[in-house]
Every structure is written in C-alpha cells, then in structure tokens.
C-alpha cells in the first residue's frame, strides 16, 4: 500500500495498525473524530477529519508522510 492509498482508505473509515521504530500505532475513527494512538501507553492525538490527522498528526515530531518509508503495516 502506498501513502495516498492509506489516506484514501482512512478517509473511507478503515482503521489501521502499523509499526514505527518497533512501536505499535493505531489510526482509528469514531463519531467524534479520527485518532492517532501509540498503543504501548495509549498516547492519543485527536483530529476532526482524516485530512487534519495527516496534516497535523506527528510521531516523534514527524508527519506520517515524512516517515512513510520507515513504517511497517
């Protein structure tokens, strides 16, 4: 899957688990918004839209697009 496909699938409501630097992350959605969560400590960032998640969501100060090549889905 490429980055644009991930964005499109999240926008359609799919949820994903992925790994970065051996840590597990979860992109999820509910009626209140979209979430980017680090699983080990449940640290979560919340967003009103999938677009906002991909624009503002960060992992160790990096957007998902910046570290995409290092992410394992």
Q: State the pLDDT at residue 45.
A: 98
Q: State the pLDDT at residue 51.
A: 97
Spatial separation of the C-alpha atoms in residues 11 and 51, rounded to whole Å: 8
Confidence band (pLDDT; 50, 70, 90) for 58? very high
Structural domain tally of the chain? Answer: 1
Of residues 73 and 41, more confidence is placed in: 41
pLDDT tens sequence across 5-47: 999 999 999 999 999 999 999 999 999 999 999 999 999 999 9
DSSP annotation string for the chain: --HHHHHHHHHTT--EEEEETTEEEEEEEETTEEEEEETTTTEEEEESSHHHHHHH--BTTB-HHHHGGG-B-
73: pLDDT strictly greater than 90: no
Q: Which residues form the domain of 14?
A: 3-70
Q: What is the pTM of this model?
A: 0.94
Q: How many CB atoms lie within 10 A of CB 27?
A: 22
């Amino acid at each position: 899957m490429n980055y644009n496909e991930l964005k499109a699938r999240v926008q359609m409501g799919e949820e994903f688990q992925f790994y970065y630097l051996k840590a597990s992350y979860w992109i999820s959605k509910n009626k209140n918004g979209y979430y980017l969560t680090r699983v080990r400590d449940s640290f979560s960032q919340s967003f009103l839209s999938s677009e906002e998640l991909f624009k503002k969501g960060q992992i160790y100060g990096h957007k998902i697009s910046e570290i995409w090549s290092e992410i394992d889905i």
